[in-house]
Each structure stands twice: as C-alpha cells, then as structure tokens.
Structure 1
Amino acid sequence: MNASSTGTKGTAPDLSKIRRGPIVVALIIGAFVAILNETLLGNAFPDLMKAFDVSASTIQWLSTAYMLVVGVLVPVTALLQQWYTTRQMFLGAMILFLIGTIVSATAPEFGVLLTGRVIQALGTGLMLPVMMNTILVIFPPEKRGGAMGLIGLVIMFAPAIGPTVSGLIMDSLSWHWLFYLVIPLAVFSIIFAAVYMKNVSEITKPKVDILSIILSTVGFGGIVYGFSSSGSAGWSDPEVYWTIIVGAIALLLFIWRQLVLKDPVMDLRAFKYPMFALVTILLFVLMMTLFSTMTLLPMFLQGALLMTAFKSGLTMLPGGVVNGIMAPVAGKLFDKFGPRVLVTPGIILVVIAIWMFTGVGASASTGYVVTIHIIMLVGISLVMMPAQTTGLNQLPRRLYPHGTAILNTLQQVSGAIGTALFISIMSNGSKDYLKGSSDPNSPGEKVQALVAGVHNAFWIGLVIGIIALVIGLFIRRTRPPEGEESRAPAGH
C-alpha cells in the first residue's frame, strides 16, 4: 500500500546566512490574511441565509466544511513538508487561498461559495503547520518564545477585529466585500513571500503510505464532522453517532499503523517526549474551553443582552486586542523566565474568568462582560504560545513537522468537540428551564432560559479549566535533545 518512493536522506539547507526578519514577516502576513477571513464570515451568516435562501443548518457548512478540511489536511502536512520546500509549501498554500477567495467573492449560488471556502481551507490547512515548523527551524530555543509571540499576536488579533470589520462591511456594503477585501491582502502576501521566503526545510522524500492517509482522513474527518453537525442534528441522529464511531475506529487504526511504519505520515513517537505529551493534553483541554467560549459569548450577548451582531463584535474587540498585545510580551517573558511563571498564573486567570461567567445574568453591564473577557484572554495569552513552544522545544529537529502537525490537528478536533459539547449543554439547559416555566413562550422567559443554559455550560467549562490548571502545574522548561541546539542558525 506504499507509494513507490525512495526514502532518501536529504541535506539540510545552510541556515547560517538566513535573514529571519523577512521570513517571519511573510509568515505573519499570510497567517493574518487566512485567519481574518475565517472570522469575517461568522457575523454575515444571517445576510448570507437571505442572499442564498438557505437555512441556518445549511449556512453552517461554510464554517463546518472549513474546519473539516483543515482537520483532515493538517495531519498530512508533516509528510508534505518532507517532500516540498518551505517556499513551495507556503506559496502553494497562499495561491490556493487566493483562488478560493476569488471563487467565493464571485459566487452566484451557495454551492459555488461553499466550493470557494473549501479551496480556502486547503490553503489554510497547509499554511499553519508550515508557519510553526519554520519558526522552530530558524530560531534557536532561547529565542523561540519571542518569535512564537509575534505569531500569537496575529493569530489572536485577526479574530478580534474580524467580527467588528465584518459588522461594518455588512452595514454598508454587500457580503461580496468580505472576500473582495481579502484579495489584495492575499496577493500582497504571495508577492512578498515570493521575494523573501527562503527554503529552510530538509527534503527527505519518505515513502508515502496511502492507507495511513485514508485512515487519517476518515478518522479526523469523521470525528470533526460528527461533533460539528451534532449541534444542528442532535446526538440521537444516526448520522452523528455513526460518523463519530467510524471516525474513532479509523483513528485507532491510524495510530496503530503509525507506530509500526518506518516512515509514518504522522510520527506519534513525538509522544515519547514527556513535556510534549503533557503540553498536547493541556492545549487540547484548554482549546475546548476557548473555542466553546468564543461560540457561547456572542450567542449570550445577542440573545440575552439583546445586542446587534456589530455591537457584540465591538464588545469582544477589547479582549482580543489585549490578547494580541500580550502574545509577544508573553513570548519575551517565556524566553527570559521559562513557562512555569506564565502557564500556571495564566490558567488561574482563565479559571477565574469562567467562574465569573457562571454568574453573569441578563442584567449584566457591557463593561462587566468586557472585563471578564479581557481577564480570560490575558490568561490564554500567557498559556498558549509558551506552552506550545515548551512542548516543541523538547523534540529533535526531525520531529518538528510531526509535532506541529499533531498540535494543529488536535486543536481542530478539540475545537469541534468543545463547541459541540458546550452548545449541547447550553441547549439542554435552556430546554430544562422552559419545561419548568409557567409561561415558556414569553420573551423574558426565553432570555432567562438562554442564561440558564449558558450558566450550565460555563460550570462544565470551570471543571475543565481546573483540570487544565492541575496539568499546568507540571509544565517546566525544556531543551532539545543533545546535538540539536548546534543546528539552530546563528542568523539575525
């Protein structure tokens, strides 16, 4: 079942004369464009439903399909990065993203728009692991925190301004401009990368195991699809639980196959490094909480506090901006003090914020919600990049593509699971409240039902946050294996 290919040993490129600055700028521009586009679309769903005359469950595919494609593609990127150069991977990803954006912008019907989103997702799925792997290769361990912090700034700042920019566009222009706006940014990213992006990866061209790719696609795809569709279809829908069951079986077979292959598609031997394994578990738990909070909060703001989509976007903007600013600061502090002084206080802040959310009612002031949101995202900024960098720092260089692919894949899976779990808890809590209500059809009772459901979800989030806190207590500074540090570039 292996594709015919020789697993030749490649020669590592000379990194001593690499100019890191332009490469990082190219990566940041690409990441900003891709992530901004993802968050621009959420606020426009009601308008897109009217424009294409489709239901809420249909329009959700614009988000579900995106997450599904990224979740399926990312595991394969570890293999692709050993077949194609950094430059080829990044430019290929951005060109795919540009094509998808143009298709989406000019879509005459929903099917074409969905196709454009899938092509965009192919580009994003290729780019995100390449970005992290490149940072690991071109920076020595003692400087990676600052570099990861810059990437973190973009990863959090783009989603922060996305809903607000989207609200402005939808108030004054058509939905097409959500994509027209991104086209020049994507073109600029491609031109800049074509000039400044250098190859920093080692091409080894390992054997391609087709069965592993099939099992990975069915496994990760089935789990992400099943959990993502549970919100609209319900857990009792056979399509939901059978998809998850088939995905889980395929995933187990994928794991077994990776452990017996000489050249695995995703080398799970990275989990032999204890700090990487611990960080992976921590981020999986934490990302469940983060993704679900980002989904619940707009629903609470619009459904309980009766805000418009634009105002809810503005309410969430300060937290996102503060998080973006904090990311490079946390990176520099990580380089100086290590992860322990950042990760534990960060998770404590997240737990405090979730606990405060369990008491927020329909009479809460906007300022109070903004304050809690800022506390949560400051905590997240102290945990995310420092924890990722700590885990990846322990790996030998040959496992960098696999480590980044593992972390990116599990973030997609944990996002799908967390969102489905918390939305399900919220929905059931709301239904239970209305069953005991004397007037379940009154607008006031529906608001109280939403508040009760959100509170239930945040109580579960608090439990998950405490689990993350216990795991975080064991995080400590790591070093790459003997002999790996000497291969880091001395460039500037």
Structure 2
Amino acid sequence: MEKNRPGLIVSSLVIANFLGQLMQTMLNTALPRMMLDLGIDEGRAQWLITVYYLTAGITVPVAGFLIGRFTTRGLFFTSASAFAAGTLIAGISPDFILILCGRIIQGLGAGLLMPLFQTTILRVFPKGKIGSAMGLIGLVMGLAPALGPTLSGLVVQEHSWRILFYALLPVVIANLLLAAFSLQNVGERHREKLDYISILFSTTGFAGLLYGVNLAGDQRASRIWAGAAILSGILFIVLFIRRQLKLTAPLLDFKLFKNRSFSLASIIGVLLFIVMVGAELLIPLYVQNVRGLTPRESGLMLLPGALLLGCTSVISGKIYDRYGVRLVLRGGFTLIAGVSLLISLMLSQDSSILILAVLYVFLMVGIGFIMTPVTAYAMASVSPKMIAHASPMTISIRSLASSMGGVLLIAIMTITMNYSSFAFPVNMMQGFHAAFWSLTLVAIAGLGLSFNLKGL
C-alpha cells in the first residue's frame, strides 16, 4: 500500500461521501415544491429526509462489522452501487411511496460509506496528522450537508426537483471508475459471525422511536399509537444495548462510553449536529413559506454559510493539532449559542433577510470550528484497536441525532402551530419561534459541556 499517498487512496471515498452527505439535505429547499407535486403535507414530506438519516443510522452499526469482515474495495463498490440504484429509483418514481423506497436504498449505501471513509482515513494518515485528516472528514460532513439546500434551491427554481437525482448519477458512475484505479484495501479482516438479533433489535428500536416522535407531531395521528411506537422503540433500544454488552463481537461496542472523554465528545457531537440539521431545515422553510422567497433565492441565501463551514472545518483541524480542543470548542459554542439566541429574538414576519443570512454565516462558522476538533478528540481518546469500533459508534449516534433532531423540531413546530389560536402566518411564526428557542437551549447545553473536557 502506498502509505506516502494517502490522499490518492481515499480520493474516491471523499467524493462518494460528499455525494452521500449532500443528499442528506438536498431535499430541504425542494420540499415545498415536492409537497405540491406529490400532494403531501409537511409531516409526510419530512420523511423523505428523515428516512435517509434513519436508514443510514441503522446501517452504520452493521458497517462496523462489515469493515472488518470484507475488503475495503468490496464494501465500497457494493455501497456506492446501492447509492446509485437508490438515486435512480427516487428520480424516476411517480409517487411518494416509491420515492421513499429510493431514499431508503440511498441511505443504505450512504450508511456503509461514511464509517468506511472515516476508518480508512484513520488507517492511512499518520497519527501526527489526525487533526488535518479529521478536517477532511469535517469538510465532507460539514460542507456537503450545508451546500445541499443551496444547490437544490438553484435547481428547483427553474427545473423539476427530479434533476437533483438525475444529475448525481453520472458523478457516482465516474467515481466508481476512479475507485477502480485508486482505492486500495487497508486493515485486517476477521471471521466473526453477524448477529442478526442485534440487527433486528436496533432496526426495530430506532425506527419505532423515530416513527412515534413523528406521529406525535401529527395532529391527525392517534396519541395512543404514537405513545406505543415510542415505548416499543425505547424497549428494543434497551434490548439492543444489553445484547451488545454481552456479545464478544458486538455491532456497536458500548464499552466505549466507559471512556469519559469519548462520552463527552460524543454528546457534544450529537448536540452540534442537532443544531446544524435544525438550522439547515428550519431557515429554508421560514424564508419560503413565510417570506415567499423562491427556492433559488433561499439557496443563494445559504451559500456563503455553506462555503465558510467547509473552510472552517479544515482550518479548525489544523488549530486542533497545534492548540488542542478546549479553546476552539468553547469559542465555537459561544458563537453558536449567541447566534441562535439572536435568531430566536429577531425572527418575525418581516425580519431582514440580509441580517438572517449574516447570522446563518456566523452560525455555520461556529459549527465548522467545532465539528473537526470534537471528532478528532473523540478518536484520539480511544486506543488504536478500538478505532474500528469508535468510528461507527460516532457516526451512528450523530446520524440518529440528525434524524431525531429533524423530527423533533418539526414536531415542536407543528404542535405549536396546531394548538395556536391564531391563523397563518402568525401560528407558523409561533412554531418557528418554539423550534429556534429549542435550538438555542441545545447550543447552550453544548457550551456547558465543553467546559468539562479534559486536556488542552
């Protein structure tokens, strides 16, 4: 293996994961148009985004096992092909259910790609460059989701939202050709058997919990069914965790959380991703549904923040290598909490779009300064032999936090609107205020936890 050329080895993984992360949020700006074309409401439309997060999150634990069981190249071509197939299905499908199926297949491929990407990077880059290597991961995980709403806004203004899927296919195919020449097998393989009961418990648990929370935000849904789904989801998650603690080769090794530094970094990462996904979801909905901006205008409004998020993710990795984690995390969360508070206070039916765009830029800068260092800190806090377990664990909980965060925020917004005594747009503004105040509290919690990190 060409250890002196790690960038070439991971090039196809970088592109594939950028596309996978891009598709997480690319539908955010397109949702209003899709709702009109497909005849669905916000609750159903949200599932086109949520199911992608959920499927990816459920797949990641299995990916941790598969990375050790199969070759790097074999897993890459399988997952990238699944992503391509899901993209094609979603693009050509005529109704909501079939598009949802395409998104599920996309999520399966993306869920395998991200832990493979992160584990491969940690194996081919030297330890002294871990911050810079995490910066590359941060660039993908930060820039791509932030860029998604911008690109989709530019496209759906003049064209069908289906172009979002069609345009991706040639790039995916070209990247498969690149991987055929550049990607190499790294790491050792093992022969442990896959525990299918664990897969059943995790899939049922997380899907049930997410479905129940989504039902709770739907005024037409039965509260009994919603409560039953939430309780059953929690039950299966508990069963899943208990089983992992007993297995010699668990899908996710929860013993990692005995490490205080890893646990704190994981919680901070969860809070960070809730804020990022929430802002990327709520702001396009506000500017289009309340202010009447077009998808293109909405996308252009988010573009500067998306670009700066990518830049700061790379820069913060180098800062982490030199100065450590505490200073950059505290500064980043202070900025995020302050901006979230300002948005909560100033948001109204006639708020300045320019000021909101500037605040979004500062919010993305704060997120970019935290994303890479907190990931690098989490990976550096575990032993080398546990990296293969730490990577999928980190991605799993962040993916599930993203999906749960989106559903919870929409539920908070919808419940507030439904129980409001006012008509549109006042009731919708009350919903947005409730959601943004929730994001502010999440950011403040992250700031408080950053003071408990040990080390520099």
Pairwise TM-score range, normalised by the shorter structure:
over 0.9
d(CA) in 1 for partners of 2:217 and 2:399?
A: 16
Secondary structure of the residue aligned to 2:364 is helix
Q: Does 1:404 align with 2:382?
A: no
Q: Does 1:320 align with 2:306?
A: yes
Alignment match, 1:70: 56
Alignment match, 1:450: 428
Secondary structure of the residue aligned to 1:97 is helix
Sort the Cα spacing of 1:223 and 1:140 in 2 relative to 1 into closer, same or farther, 3 A: farther
Note if contact 1:223-1:413 (Cα within 8 Å) is conserved in structure 2.
Answer: no
Corresponding residue to 1:417 among 374, 381, 404: 404
**Higher Cα Rg: structure 1 or 2?**
1
Q: Does 1:386 align with 2:364?
A: no
Aligned counterparts, 1:129-208, within 5 A = 129-208=115-194
Which letter does structure 2 place at the counterpart of 1:79? F
Which letter does structure 2 place at the counterpart of 1:397? P
TM-score (norm 1): 0.86
What number of residue pairs does the alignment pair up? 455
Sort the Cα spacing of 1:16 and 1:53 in 2 relative to 1 into closer, same or farther, 3 A: closer
Note if contact 1:40-1:163 (Cα within 8 Å) is conserved in structure 2.
Answer: yes
Provide, for residues 118-141 of structure 1, a one-character-per-residue CA deviation record: whole Å limited to 9, x for no partner: 211111011011111112222233
Show structure 2 runs of 5+ residues with no match: none
Sort the Cα spacing of 1:48 and 1:463 in 2 relative to 1 into closer, same or farther, 3 A: closer
Sort the Cα spacing of 1:381 and 1:102 in 2 relative to 1 into closer, same or farther, 3 A: same
d(CA) in 2 for partners of 1:209 and 1:186?
A: 31
Q: Does 1:460 align with 2:441?
A: no
d(CA) in 2 for partners of 1:452 and 1:63?
A: 23
Secondary structure of the residue aligned to 1:41 is coil
Question: For the aligned residues, what is the CA RMSD?
Answer: 2.3
Note if contact 1:235-1:241 (Cα within 8 Å) is conserved in structure 2.
Answer: no
Alignment match, 2:447: 469
TM-score (norm 2): 0.93
Corresponding residue to 2:204 among 203, 213, 218: 218
Corresponding residue to 2:107 among 121, 124, 127: 121
Q: How many percent of aligned residue pairs carry the same amino acid?
A: 32
d(CA) in 1 for partners of 2:74 and 2:160?
A: 35
Which letter does structure 1 place at the counterpart of 2:447? L
Alignment match, 2:241: 255
Sort the Cα spacing of 1:35 and 1:199 in 2 relative to 1 into closer, same or farther, 3 A: same
Provide, for residues 143-167 of structure 1, a one-character-per-residue CA deviation record: whole Å limited to 9, x for no partner: 1111221222232222333223223
Which letter does structure 2 place at the counterpart of 1:304? V
- Identify the range of structure 1 (303-312 vs 347-356) with the bigger mean alpha-carbon deviation: 303-312
Corresponding residue to 1:368 among 337, 355, 360: 355
- Identify the range of structure 1 (307-316 vs 414-423) with the bigger mean alpha-carbon deviation: 414-423
Alignment match, 2:31: 45
Note if contact 1:67-1:224 (Cα within 8 Å) is conserved in structure 2.
Answer: no
Secondary structure of the residue aligned to 1:208 is coil
- Identify the range of structure 1 (416-425 vs 64-73) with the bigger mean alpha-carbon deviation: 416-425
Secondary structure of the residue aligned to 2:27 is helix
Secondary structure of the residue aligned to 2:190 is coil
d(CA) in 2 for partners of 1:114 and 1:426?
A: 23
Provide, for residues 175-221 of structure 1, a one-character-per-residue CA deviation record: whole Å limited to 9, x for no partner: 33222210111011111112111111221122322221211111222
d(CA) in 2 for partners of 1:234 and 1:74?
A: 33
Q: State the shift of 1:236 in Å.
A: 5.4
Show structure 1 runs of 5+ residues with no match: 1-14, 479-492
d(CA) in 2 for partners of 1:289 and 1:134?
A: 28
Secondary structure of the residue aligned to 2:452 is coil
Corresponding residue to 1:27 among 1, 9, 13: 13
Q: State the shift of 1:370 in Å.
A: 1.2
d(CA) in 1 for partners of 2:220 and 2:453?
A: 37
Note if contact 2:215-2:222 (Cα within 8 Å) is conserved in structure 1.
Answer: no
Sort the Cα spacing of 1:174 and 1:358 in 2 relative to 1 into closer, same or farther, 3 A: closer
Which letter does structure 1 place at the counterpart of 2:403? A
Provide, for residues 417-444 of structure 1, a one-character-per-residue CA deviation record: whole Å limited to 9, x for no partner: 3223333333344455x42xxxx34xxx
Note if contact 2:82-2:108 (Cα within 8 Å) is conserved in structure 1.
Answer: yes
Alignment match, 1:490: none
Note if contact 2:50-2:407 (Cα within 8 Å) is conserved in structure 1.
Answer: no
- Identify the range of structure 1 (63-72 vs 465-474) with the bigger mean alpha-carbon deviation: 63-72
Sort the Cα spacing of 1:338 and 1:200 in 2 relative to 1 into closer, same or farther, 3 A: same
Note if contact 1:49-1:55 (Cα within 8 Å) is conserved in structure 2.
Answer: yes
Q: State the shift of 1:53 in Å.
A: 4.5
Aligned counterparts, 1:228-267, within 5 A = 228-232=214-218, 237-267=223-253
Corresponding residue to 2:289 among 303, 319, 326: 303
Q: Does 1:359 align with 2:338?
A: no
Sort the Cα spacing of 1:366 and 1:325 in 2 relative to 1 into closer, same or farther, 3 A: same
Q: State the shift of 1:227 in Å.
A: 2.6
Q: State the shift of 1:301 in Å.
A: 1.8
- Identify the range of structure 1 (154-163 vs 343-352) with the bigger mean alpha-carbon deviation: 154-163
Which letter does structure 2 place at the counterpart of 1:424? A
Alignment match, 1:275: 261
Alignment match, 1:292: 278
Provide, for residues 23-82 of structure 1, a one-character-per-residue CA deviation record: whole Å limited to 9, x for no partner: 232221111222223333233334434444455544443223222211221121111111
Which letter does structure 2 place at the counterpart of 1:216? S
Which letter does structure 1 place at the counterpart of 2:301? T
Sort the Cα spacing of 1:314 and 1:111 in 2 relative to 1 into closer, same or farther, 3 A: same
Alignment match, 2:73: 87
Provide, for residues 303-355 of structure 1, a one-character-per-residue CA deviation record: whole Å limited to 9, x for no partner: 33332222222212211111111111111111111111211111111111111
d(CA) in 2 for partners of 1:91 and 1:128?
A: 13
- Identify the range of structure 1 (392-401 vs 86-95) with the bigger mean alpha-carbon deviation: 392-401
d(CA) in 2 for partners of 1:390 and 1:366?
A: 36
Secondary structure of the residue aligned to 1:329 is helix
Sort the Cα spacing of 1:233 and 1:145 in 2 relative to 1 into closer, same or farther, 3 A: farther
Q: State the shift of 1:381 in Å.
A: 0.9
